[in-house]
Every structure is written in C-alpha cells, then in structure tokens.
Amino acid sequence: MIIHSFTNDYSEGCHPSILQALNQSNLVQQTGYGDDIYTLNAVEAIKSKIGDNSVDVHLISGGTLTNLLVLASILKPFESVIAAHTGHISTHETGAIEATGHKIEEVISPDGKLTCELIKPVLNKFPEYHTVKPRVVYISNSTEIGTVYTKQELTTLSNFCKENNLILFMDGARLPSALMAASNDLTLSDVACLTDVFYIGGTKSGALLGEAVVITNDTLKKDFKYHQKQRGAMMAKGRVLGIQFEQLFKDDLIFELANHANNLAAKITDAVKELGYSFLTESDSNQIFPILPNKVIDTLTLKYGFYVWEPVDADNSAIRMVTSWATPEEKVDMFIHDLKETCKLW
C-alpha cells in the first residue's frame, strides 16, 4: 500500500484559502475573458511584487500551453528556440513547439542550466538562409533536475542574449520554489529585469491550475492577447485564474507554500547524506535526485511513489522525489525512517 506519493507537486488540489475564495465569489457576476475584478486585482498584485507597473501580465491555464503560446507569439516561421536537452519543451510536451512549425535546438547541459558557452555553437550557422535562425533562449528556474540559477549566472546569460539579439524566456513553473531555495540570491524583480518574458507557476505552487505570464520586453507585448485567443488560451471564466492568483499573492502565500516544500525536500536531502549516499544534482529546491541502491529503491516503492529517474550503474539508480506545498511533514518523517531501516538490510 502506498503511504505517500513524492512523484510530483500537483497531486493535491489547491490551498484551502483558494477554495474558500472560489466558493465565496461563486455567485458574484463578473465580466468574462480576464476583465473581472479578481484578475485585475491579481495582475496589480503581481506588478506590485515585481515593482514594475509597466510589465504586462496574462493568466494562462497550464504550463505546456503557456510555453507554446509565448514561443508561437515570438517566433517567425524560420526562427528556432534553444533549450537544454532536459528542458520541458524538449522532453514532456509531445512536440507542442514543433507542432507550431518551430525547431527546438537542444544543447547538452550537465546541470539543466544554459550558459553562454553552451549556446555559442548553436549560433554559428552556415550557410546563411539555409538553416533556421536562433531567436529565443528557453531556460527553466528551477530546472527540470532541480538546479537553480544564481543572479550572476542569469545576468551573464541575459547580457549575452542582448548582445546576440536573442530573446530570453524563463519557464517559471517552479519559480516560487527557486526563489525560496536556500542558495538563491535572485528576487522576482531581478528576474523581471534580466528576462524578456517569464512566468510564475501556480499549478505547482498551491493553485488548482494556472500560470502568470509576465512580459517585460515592450516589443513582445503587442498583440499577445490575439495569440492567446487564437490558441484557445483566453478563458471565458478567466475569474477562475484571477481568484487563485489574487489569493496566492495575498501576504506572499505562494512563497510561503514554496518554502514549505523546499524545507521538506531539504530534510530528506540531509537524511540521505547522513546515510552516505550522493545525488545526481545539487538541488535545494523541491525536486531532489538521490542515488540509491536498486534493492533499496525496490523496497521503498512498496510504500512510496517516486520516479526512478535513470540508472547510474548496474546496482544503483537516481530517483526523483518532489515535495509539494501540501506535503505533510509526518509523511517525510515516515519516509526517512523507512529509508534508514531499509538501508540496514543492505
């Protein structure tokens, strides 16, 4: 019997305050398509948190749709997007970007992050007009393998993109977790200053669903809503998203919830290290990748849900464990206890 699943951070519904707000506002009539008072309040709250009233904010229902929508609105038919080979658009979106007619140019990244050195070879195209033209650099923070960009890394990457006429787009499905990581030195304002467009994930941060796209580059703002409507991303009942983000940004709830998830992941990390085991990546976000003996993994899967990420050698594999805004600490304590007991057997 599975005691608890650490498979992802969207297994639970949403924070109770969101359900309460949805219920209380249920019969209040509002204008549709994102012009309701709740969405307007949420947009103002996000702008206030960023500290820049000039940014455009759009609420979209999910991450894959957000990535597709943003990239389709930027790229010309002959332009491409550069991404790490672990990037979500490369691995978990069923060719959504390619289906819009745009090529993803993957680069191998050992830690899931992109650097100037990794991007440079992709820019050296020859002959001109016969290959796709790189236009967007797609990054995730935190990355798909739990790592987090530092301010210096993002600043260097941002400057490089400007120098090479590239648009920097940050997938922020787990941005709240990244910003609350112990090693993080970025603020939401920094992210807004250093990227052309990014989004703040709600789906994995305590909402039922929803991502908040923030466009900082003025040249990308015009006609975005046309793209949104054409791609089926403009909800008649946009209030459903507005209410959720209004609640998430009230008293910084979204960051409080991310901090909870990170702290519990850190607790598991400490226990794994105490047992002498290593990790696939160094992560202090809510995704961790312990390397454990296969016999230990097989035993733990009888009680807990998690991904077996990849084999490391014949006897050991890396697993992915994800804690969420709703993960009970007692379940983490139970896992740690069972991990220690199982390790004694081997």
- Structure-block tokens of residue 142: 């935190």
Q: The whole model's pTM is what?
A: 0.97
Domain 16-251: assigned CATH number: 3.40.640.10
What is the rounded average pLDDT of the residues 160-174?
A: 98
Say yes or no to pLDDT of 346 above 80: no
- What are the structural domain ranges in the chain? 4-10+253-345, 16-251
Q: Is the peptide bond before 127 cis (omega within 30 degrees of 0)?
A: yes
Over residues 206-220, the pLDDT tens digits come to 999 999 999 999 999
141 falls in which pLDDT band (50, 70, 90)?
A: very high
Q: What pLDDT was estimated at residue 344?
A: 85
Distance of CA 256 to CAs 5, 50, 322, Å?
Answer: 21, 17, 17
Q: How many angstroms separate the CA atoms of 18 and 244, rounded?
A: 6
Return the H-helix or E-strand segment holding 175. helix 175-179
Kindly report the length of the chain.
Answer: 346
Number of neighbours of residue 44 by Cβ within 10 angstroms: 14
24 falls in which pLDDT band (50, 70, 90)?
A: very high
DSSP-derived 3-state class of residue 28: coil
**DSSP string across 195-218:** -SEEEEESTTTTSSS-EEEEE--G
Over residues 330-340, the pLDDT tens digits come to 999 999 999 99
Q: How many angstroms separate the CA atoms of 326 and 190, rounded?
A: 28
Q: How many angstroms separate the CA atoms of 252 and 179, rounded?
A: 12
- Structure-block tokens of residue 250: 């009230």
User: How many C-alpha atoms does 65 have within 13 Å on its Cβ side?
Assistant: 20
Q: Which residues are within 8 A (CB) of 325 and not within 5 positions of it... i.e. 6 or more apart?
A: 9, 12, 15, 205, 206, 257, 258, 260, 261
Q: Which residue has the tokens 């648009």?
A: 167
Class of domain 4-10+253-345: alpha beta
- Structure-block tokens of residue 308: 């077996």
CA angle, 171 then 173 then 175, to 5°: 85
Q: How many angstroms separate the CA atoms of 244 and 41, rounded?
A: 11
Q: What pLDDT was estimated at residue 325?
A: 98
Over residues 284-327, the pLDDT tens digits come to 999 999 999 999 999 999 999 999 999 999 999 999 999 999 99
Say yes or no to pLDDT of 128 above 90: no
Percent over 70 (pLDDT), the chain: 100
Q: How many angstroms separate the CA atoms of 19 and 244, rounded?
A: 9
- DSSP-derived letter for residue 9 is S
Number of neighbours of residue 134 by Cβ within 10 angstroms: 21
Question: With contact defined as beta carbons under 8 Å apart, do 148 and 174 qualify?
Answer: no
| Beta strand residue intervals within the chain, DSSP E | 4-5, 56-60, 79-84, 104-107, 133-140, 167-171, 197-201, 211-215, 287-288, 291-293, 304-305, 307-311, 316-322
